[in-house]
Structure 1
Amino acid sequence: MSAIRYLRLALLGLTLALTALLRPSALSAHEAAMGVLEFREVRPGAFVGRWSIEPSIGASRVDLRMPSHCFLRLPEMNCGEKGLVGPITISNLGSNMSVVLIKVIPIEGEPRSYTISTANPVVTVLGTDAPTLEAWVELAKTYANYGIDHILLGADHLLFVLGLIWIVGGGWRLVKTITAFTIGHSASLAAAAFGLIGVPERPLNACIALSIAFVGVEIVKQQRGETGLTARYPWIVAFTFGLVHGIGFAGALAGLGLERRLLPAALLFFNIGVEIGQLAFVLLVLALIWAHRRLDAVVPRWGEAVPAYLIGSVSMFWFFGRLARVFVAI
């Protein structure tokens, strides 16, 4: 492997590692930056509202605007004879909370869900149980954007993908490896979202950190001239750890209480968003590789192993921090 390749990966690995290390929230891994606001009708036109999942920025700071005929002072809301119909707006969503799920539970009929995001800050409650084409389009845009945000803010997942790229290299071998990883996390994401499998979140987050440490060890083996398991069977390793990371992704949708009829579509577009974000990251790394091939640069011999040890060190920092959270919860 050329010195320039060591240099580019060292710089990229150092940037990712230090950024993740300085963010205490990384210990929480794939926790969702999503709030859930529930309105339950107690008598015609009168609702009780509550945050079933309170946003990180604090409920009191959310700029929530209901239809003009509705009088809102949480936990009470009165919409009179018209009922809860019309536009709902949240205008101050940001990085701490990018999505809010509005759940409307009427006295009669099926509960309805409406998703507000930074990309779609306004939804219209139509007072009908049948989702319209506009509602489906809003759902698609919202959850695709949510998936992109989720993957690009997930430093642990990106660090694992970076390790795979380092070990496997480019070409079809990389395409097959990333495809196997995608199949793995897509399958477990779907199974976990539909409740077919369930793993406690905190132990799972610790396992995700260990998967990154494993890749770091494999990189060191490769540098020493040894052939590790990932180098021999990259697709099997990628698929196996993809299953673990996919269950972690499911944590972003768990507990939101999405309607069963909306869950398949939300899951599909969330996964599409995750894949778009992952592909963008892979293309970025490949672009950096292409760009650095044109530079005449060298790295000291001692610096060749720095990125691998940074990946290992940060992942073990995450592991012990997340493991501590497991025992605190017992």
Structure 2
Amino acid sequence: MRLLAAWIVAATLLTPAALLAHESSLGVLELREVRQGAYVGRWTMEPTIGAARVDLRAPPHCFLRMPQLECGAKGLIGAMTIGNLGSSMSAALIKIIPLQGEARSYTITSANPTVSILGSEAPTLESWIALGATYLNYGVDHILLGADHLLFVFGLIWIVGVGRRLVSTITAFTIGHSISLAAAAFGVIGVPERPLNACIALSIVFVGVEIVKQRRGEAGLTARYPWAVAGGFGLVHGIGFASALAGLGIEKRLLPAALGFFNIGVEIGQLAFVLVTLALIWAHRRLGAVLPGSRDLLPGYAIGSIAAFWFIGRLLRVLAID
């Protein structure tokens, strides 16, 4: 377990985006129709790589030279893609505002860099499949790139160990963040993003302290009631997941499906992380590696220190001290 903790800590420290967590490299492109088949585009959320260098490709019958997009009488229908999605820009939202009818939104991710732009008609089976693939992959990407969520889950695994207690703990965390994710996505609750991220970091500090208590022979709250702690903090983390969807401007008719696929993607990513962690624990036990004496406290201090660093940085951002 000590070698595993060192690996997790090193990976976390080498992740530059960890401090910002959910302030992801998302670009939002608004395409507003000004006359039949003619659009004017602008980045309402400019991607990290800079809007001028985004490799945006329109359908073949369209002529694109930002900010102008000309598609003629056929209109903006067909495949649209961004060729240079990656670590600098993980996703982009294309929001189309027609002269008549509702605005439509399409999300491009590195896993699905091409979307099919549809007309204003009702979604087809093909469009539902595309929607599912897009948000499923986005959910997986979001959890696996969320160093703070993974560190929290790792702390829970460290405290409760393997077996039934781990199953109930992870289940409680899943239920907690699923409830708050849905509530936040539908606007039932709302928390500003920066204070929320500071609270998420503080939850990891709490888990780090609990690990140290346990290694000193004290039964902390997490060790006694892991499901309650996991479920409670899961509510906080779920609102953090919802922040990933907040800026996408998803159509109301598509929101339930997008939310469902996104949450499934989050669960798949989380389950994959838990299984990999358990596999590393098994391998560590087979090797029989042991650290001497007081170094047994090192993982708890490391997790708590990293989370405290995140908390201070995020708190400064809340106070606008950049």
TM-score range, shorter chain: over 0.9
Shift of the 297–71 alpha-carbon distance from structure 1 to 2, 3 Å rule, reads closer
- Name the residue aligned to 2:185: 193
Structure 2, unmatched stretches of 5+, are none
Distance 1:282 1:94 in 2: 25
Shift of 1:275: 0.5
SS in 1 for 2:289: coil
- Name the residue aligned to 1:79: 71
One-letter amino acid matched to 2:235: L
Q: Of residues 264, 269, 275 in structure 2, which corresponds to 1:277? A: 269
SS in 1 for 2:267: helix
Please list the CA deviations of residues 266-287 of structure 1 after superposition, one character each: whole Å capped at 9, or x if unmatched. Answer: 1111111111111011111111
| Equivalent runs, 1:8-87 vs 2, <5 Å | 8=1, 10-87=2-79
Distance 1:22 1:96 in 2: 15
- Name the residue aligned to 1:222: 214
Shift of 1:293: 2.0
Distance 2:160 2:138 in 1: 29
Please list the CA deviations of residues 229-249 of structure 1 after superposition, one character each: whole Å capped at 9, or x if unmatched. Answer: 111111110000000111111
Distance 1:208 1:90 in 2: 32
Matched-pair contact (CA < 8 Å) for 2:19–2:314: yes
Shift of the 136–145 alpha-carbon distance from structure 1 to 2, 3 Å rule, reads same
Please list the CA deviations of residues 191-250 of structure 1 after superposition, one character each: whole Å capped at 9, or x if unmatched. Answer: 111111111111111111110110111111111111111111111100000001111111
- Name the residue aligned to 2:173: 181
Distance 2:246 2:321 in 1: 19
Distance 2:90 2:288 in 1: 42
- Mean CA deviation greater in 161-170 or 93-102: 93-102
Please list the CA deviations of residues 88-125 of structure 1 after superposition, one character each: whole Å capped at 9, or x if unmatched. Answer: 12222112223222221111122222222223222222
- Name the residue aligned to 2:149: 157
Distance 2:170 2:289 in 1: 29
When the two structures are superposed, what TM-score results if normalisation uses the length of structure 2? 0.95
Please list the CA deviations of residues 168-193 of structure 1 after superposition, one character each: whole Å capped at 9, or x if unmatched. Answer: 11111110010000000011111111
SS in 2 for 1:36: strand
One-letter amino acid matched to 2:201: A
Shift of 1:29: 1.6
SS in 2 for 1:104: strand
SS in 2 for 1:251: helix
Structure 1, unmatched stretches of 5+, are 1-7
RMSD: 1.6
| Equivalent runs, 1:303-314 vs 2, <5 Å | 303-314=295-306
- Name the residue aligned to 1:297: 289
Please list the CA deviations of residues 282-305 of structure 1 after superposition, one character each: whole Å capped at 9, or x if unmatched. Answer: 111111122222223332112111
Shift of 1:323: 0.7
Matched-pair contact (CA < 8 Å) for 1:109–1:129: no
Distance 1:287 1:278 in 2: 14
2:245 equivalent to 1:253: yes
Matched-pair contact (CA < 8 Å) for 1:222–1:228: yes
Shift of 1:329: 6.6
Please list the CA deviations of residues 58-107 of structure 1 after superposition, one character each: whole Å capped at 9, or x if unmatched. Answer: 21221111122222221122222222122212222112223222221111
Distance 1:38 1:133 in 2: 25
SS in 2 for 1:89: strand
Q: Of residues 107, 117, 121 in structure 1, which corresponds to 2:109? A: 117
The sequence identity of aligned pairs, in percent, is 71
SS in 1 for 2:107: strand
Q: Of residues 254, 265, 270 in structure 1, which corresponds to 2:257? A: 265
One-letter amino acid matched to 1:180: A
Name the count of aligned residue pairs: 322
Distance 1:55 1:145 in 2: 19
SS in 2 for 1:253: helix
Distance 2:206 2:58 in 1: 50
Matched-pair contact (CA < 8 Å) for 2:103–2:251: yes
Distance 1:139 1:218 in 2: 41
- Name the residue aligned to 2:320: 328
Distance 2:179 2:219 in 1: 29
When the two structures are superposed, what TM-score results if normalisation uses the length of structure 1? 0.93
Distance 1:328 1:128 in 2: 42
